[in-house]
Amino acid sequence: PGHVAERCLNHKLKGVEGIYDRYDYLDERRDAISRVVKKLAPIIN
């Protein structure tokens, strides 16, 4: 989802969502980055 991608890129959310959404999405970010690594590892190695 887009909101997880924005957090992975360390983008701040704008407007009301940025003020009230204080969840760090750590588990979701770990999962997203792990998926990217699995896709890139065969290309790099």
Tell me, what amino acid is at 15? Answer: G
Q: Is pLDDT above 80 for 1?
A: no
Q: Any idea of the CA torsion for 23, 19, 13, 17, to the nearest 10 degrees?
A: 80
User: 18 pLDDT band (50/70/90 cuts)?
Assistant: confident
Residue 18 CB coordination number (10 Å): 11
User: 21 pLDDT band (50/70/90 cuts)?
Assistant: confident
Q: What is the mean pLDDT of residues 2-26?
A: 88
Q: Is pLDDT above 90 for 27?
A: yes
Residue 35 CB coordination number (10 Å): 10
Q: Is pLDDT above 90 for 12?
A: no
